[in-house]
Amino acid sequence: MATLVIGICGGTGSGKTTLTERLRTALSPRKVVVLEQDHYYKDLRNLPPRDRARRNYDHPDSVDMALMIENVRNLRAGRPINRPTYDFVHHQRETRLLRVRPRAAVIIEGILVFQNKALRDLMDIKVFVDADPDLRFIRRLLRDVRERGRTLDSVVEQYLATVRPMHAEFIEPARHYADVVIPEGGQNQAAIDLLIQMIRSRMENGNHKVTHPQQPARGRRRLVRR
């Protein structure tokens, strides 16, 4: 069976990770590999900690896309990879690598995964997760303080300086690449059920590629909560 590659994009705090986990559970963890863009940030350990903290991590140049593309191609070809890991507290790539073996489906998740054409071309289904900006900010604030050792002031400063402008420049326009737009992310049960049905059908039939790559954004399928 050919490997199905699913791209999940959306703004910070939109619900991408929640949606990814819902899909992984529904499709069976034994059949799904998840590649998170966050683990592919470029290695900046040669920079002082203060300079690392000030980098713009919401710009496409912050991500090692070449490595991510190579990893996805290998998984599609049935070859295992050594996936990098990232230390979000100290803003640097860790020395340990995670051995990942190919499975029936690969989910690529991140705010910038639609920015590179070569990476997009490896995706069979592209999903954009939409959410209210205020809700996204609150989710990011809670995550960064609780899980990544940040202060409230540092999160707000980063959001105003880079996160919000980069969202407007790169992430929001990327929705026009999507085959499916899901409002509310992992909380939209009706949309998730429809997406799971679509993915299962493609996995079973081997008909992976969505057939409307040139369709304008307003014509994309939008799965909406009722």
Whole-number Å distance between alpha carbons of 67 and 86:
14
**pLDDT tens digits for range 49-65:** 888 878 889 999 999 99
State residue 207's pLDDT score: 58
**pLDDT digits 0-9 by tens, 70-104:** 999 999 999 999 999 999 888 889 999 999 999 99
pLDDT score of 69: 98
pLDDT value of position 226: 35
CATH code, domain with 72: 3.40.50.300
* Domain, as residue range, for 8: 4-222
pLDDT digits (tens, 9 = 90+) for 135-189: 889 988 998 898 888 899 988 998 898 989 999 999 999 999 999 999 887 788 8
Structure tokens at 157: 């400063």
pLDDT for the residue numbered 204: 85
pLDDT score at 194: 92
Q: How many domains does the chain have?
A: 1
Query: Which among 5, 185, 221 is positioned nearest to 107, based on CA atoms?
Result: 5
pLDDT at residue 216, as a whole number: 40
Q: What is the mean pLDDT of residues 112-119?
A: 97
217: pLDDT strictly greater than 60: no
Cα angle 24, 174, 76 (rounded to 5 degrees) comes to 45
Examine the pLDDT at 219 and tell me if it is beyond 70. Answer: no
The tokens for 89 are 């507290």
Q: Mean pLDDT over residues 121-133, rounded?
A: 95
The Cα 9–Cα 19 span in angstroms is 11
For 2-12, write each residue's pLDDT tens digit.
799 999 999 99
